Amino acid sequence: MTKKQIELSAQDISAVEKPVNRARLVTAPEHFISPELIADINTNGLDETRRGFLRKGFFSALGGAAGLAAPMVFAAGEGDPAILEKQEWQTTLGKNVATMPYGVPSIYEANLIRRESPGLTRVAASSVAFTPLQGLFGTITPNGLHFERHHQGWFNLNPETHRLMVNGMVKNARVFTMNDLMRMPSVSRTHFIECGANTGLEWGNVAVPTVQYTHGMLSCCEFTGVPLKALLEECGADLKKGKFLLAEGGDGSGMTRTINLESCLDDTIVAWGMNGEMLRPENGFPLRLVVPGVQGVSWVKWLRRLEVGDMPWNSKDEAVHYIELMPDGIHRQYASIQECKSVITTPSGGQQLLDKGFYNVSGMAWSGRGKIKRVDVSFDGGNHWRTARLETPVLTKSITRFNIDWTWDGSPAILQSRAIDDTGYVQPSIKTLRDVRGNRSIYHNNAIQSWKLDPNGEVSNVQVG
């Protein structure tokens, strides 16, 4: 779409279709709250006095005219049929235990499934299925909703014949069975995994409607396995000269990626467990590499071989794909770290709010360089920001859930979130990134996401600035 300068006013934020019109930004009514009060509430929380300020401010901002959601009204002898009438589940016998020996979500959750983005890829065996972030709570991705990315299809590998070989610059090339590996001292750690191409569709312009497609190559699980370091030391790896590790998958693509041992040796896991059960076949059953903070392609699935070496391998997925085209025609190679990023998941693109009133605006923040320190949220397209609450625990290289209270008065708004990690790095705007990298690099787009909320309650994906 062509760039359109629009007027952001309390009356009409959806004026994109109107003639180009330069105007001063009018502060949206949600900024009736003074910065001092925001700081006070952030420090001390809400008490009755502060609530009073909020109410006062809110109604004066609306001129006292706007009505909030009308609750259902019943006469004294009437009421909500959901209460007055007996429901089937109150009056009959329910199902037996173990009717579903492996439990599945309620039928009412059927809409929240992994989905493909039509036209993104042409062959379903080498494609992507995105996680429905718009419906998730907290930080953990349910195993059945973990995003999928395969390069040559997936299999159910037989765990009894699966082997892990460690070779290269090691004293002894060794072979381990699953029986061997699962006897070793294990750790369980929660980490996010994000494809390097997540949000890659949006480098040039808005391309997809919802957070499932903008950010859904992102998942977060508790992974269980043996630390890579213990395994390499067991094989007598020369870690002084061997600064690189080739990880190879057991699928048809024989997927290979070079791992930076200097950077990743301390927290990489050779994992079999995922959220308390074995890895799902789509996610590498029975063995995958977990490389915290590094893009998903390096988390090699169906892991069959690790080779210690003294130089990178330039495999297909580090010399032809997963390289980033810069404006001068040079590609960045071996860009691996997923930098600090966040996104509001509710409300988010394609969603429909029912009514005005109170909302808990919520989202996810993560950084491949450490812990999330702070998340700020804006409701006016980035002009003013308030600091959100972080849910605990805040873990390194993991998803942190943030929430912020918001009372929507029905005016147009543009919602954004901006994360800061414990290195002090501040999540950038898309313009900041484009100024350095252009818009053809595909990978590592960690820009601030904007969602436009129209007075009809519909939320849509927009880019600001």
Partner 1 sequence: MFRLDKLFAHLVLLSLAVFSAQLAYAQNTQGPTKFPGIGRNATPAEVIAWDIDVRPDFKGLPKGSGSVAQGQVIWESKCASCHGVFGESNEIFTPIAGGTTVDDIKTGKVASLADRKQPQRTTLMKVPTVSTLWDYIYRAMPWNAPRSLTPDDTYALVAFILSLGDIVPDDFVLSNANIAEIQKKMPNRNGMTRDHGFWSVNGKPDVNSQACMTNCVKFVQIGSTLPDFARNAHGNIAEQNRLYGPYRGSDSSKPPIAKLPGSTGEGLAHAGDTHAASTKGPSALFRSENCSACHAPNAKLVGPSITAIAAKYQGQGGAQEQLMAKVKNGGSGVWGAIPMPPQSQLSDEDRAILVRWMLTGQ
Find the binding residues for partner 1 in span 295-334 (CB under 8 A).
304-305, 307, 309, 311-316, 319-320, 323, 325-334
Q: In terms of CB distance, is 115 or 389 closer to partner 1? A: 115
One of 49, 65, 69, 78 touching partner 1 (CB under 8 A): 69
* Cβ 223 to partner 1 shortest distance, Å: 18
One of 418, 445, 449, 451 touching partner 1 (CB under 8 A): 418
Q: In terms of CB distance, is 153 or 393 closer to partner 1? A: 153
Q: In terms of CB distance, is 71 or 101 closer to partner 1? A: 71
What distance in Å separates the CA atoms of residue 322 and residue 215, rounded to the nearest whole number?
Answer: 17
* Cβ 48 to partner 1 shortest distance, Å: 25
Q: How far apart are the first and last CA of the chain?
A: 13
One of 37, 54, 140, 206 touching partner 1 (CB under 8 A): 206
78-107: contacts with partner 1 (CB under 8 A): 107
* Cβ 47 to partner 1 shortest distance, Å: 23
* Cβ 221 to partner 1 shortest distance, Å: 20
Q: In terms of CB distance, is 187 or 462 closer to partner 1? A: 462
Contact between 205 and partner 1 by CB under 8 A: the answer reads: yes
* Cβ 164 to partner 1 shortest distance, Å: 9
* Cβ 59 to partner 1 shortest distance, Å: 19
Contact between 76 and partner 1 by CB under 8 A: the answer reads: no
Tell me the two tokens of residue 416. 């954004």
Contact 409, 29 (CB under 8 A): yes
Q: Which residue has the tokens 């450490």?
A: 370
Tell me the two tokens of residue 169. 């610059």
One of 235, 290, 395, 404 touching partner 1 (CB under 8 A): 235
133-192: contacts with partner 1 (CB under 8 A): 134-135, 151-153, 165, 167-168, 171-176, 180, 183-184
Separation in Å, CA 292 to CA 150, 182, 231, 286: 19, 21, 17, 19
Kindly determine how many residues on this chain lie close enough to bind partner 1 according to the rule CB under 8 A. 149
Contact between 422 and partner 1 by CB under 8 A: the answer reads: no
**Per the omega criterion (within 30 degrees of 0), is the bond before 347 cis?**
yes
Contact between 216 and partner 1 by CB under 8 A: the answer reads: no
Write out the DSSP string of 390-441. Answer: EPSP--TTS-EEEEEEEEE-S--EEEEEEEEETT--BPPPHHHHHHHHTT--
Write out the DSSP string of 190-229. Answer: EEEEE-TTTTGGGSSS---SSHHHHH-SEEEEEEEEEEHH
Contact 226, 285 (CB under 8 A): no
One of 143, 385, 391, 422 touching partner 1 (CB under 8 A): 385
What distance in Å separates the CA atoms of residue 219 and residue 141, rounded to the nearest whole number?
Answer: 6
Contact 435, 400 (CB under 8 A): no
> What DSSP state is assigned to residue 44?
H
Binding mask of the shown chain, residues 247 to 286, with x at each position contacting partner 1 by CB under 8 A: -x---xxx-x---x-xxx----------------------
What distance in Å separates the CA atoms of residue 241 and residue 168, rounded to the nearest whole number?
Answer: 11
Separation in Å, CA 11 to CA 28, 132, 368: 9, 33, 40
Contact between 457 and partner 1 by CB under 8 A: the answer reads: yes
Q: Which stretch binds partner 1 (CB under 8 A): 48-56, 122-130, 187-195, 399-407?
A: 122-130
Q: Which helix (H) or strand (E) holds 19?
A: none
One of 45, 47, 64, 72 touching partner 1 (CB under 8 A): 72
What distance in Å separates the CA atoms of residue 333 and residue 315, rounded to the nearest whole number?
Answer: 11
Q: Which residue has the tokens 């959100």?
A: 388
One of 33, 117, 131, 404 touching partner 1 (CB under 8 A): 117
Contact between 20 and partner 1 by CB under 8 A: the answer reads: no
Contact between 4 and partner 1 by CB under 8 A: the answer reads: yes
Contact between 463 and partner 1 by CB under 8 A: the answer reads: yes
What distance in Å separates the CA atoms of residue 331 and residue 313, rounded to the nearest whole number?
Answer: 17
Q: Which residue has the tokens 């279709």?
A: 17
- Closest to 33 in 3D by CA, of 407, 344, 376, 402: 407
Q: In terms of CB distance, is 57 or 455 closer to partner 1? A: 455
One of 61, 246, 300, 415 touching partner 1 (CB under 8 A): 246
Q: In terms of CB distance, is 58 or 322 closer to partner 1? A: 322
Contact between 25 and partner 1 by CB under 8 A: the answer reads: yes
What distance in Å separates the CA atoms of residue 142 and residue 103, rounded to the nearest whole number?
Answer: 12
- Closest to 148 in 3D by CA, of 129, 122, 134: 129
Q: In terms of CB distance, is 140 or 184 closer to partner 1? A: 184
One of 10, 33, 62, 112 touching partner 1 (CB under 8 A): 112
Q: Which stretch binds partner 1 (CB under 8 A): 43-51, 95-103, 186-194, 343-351?
A: 343-351
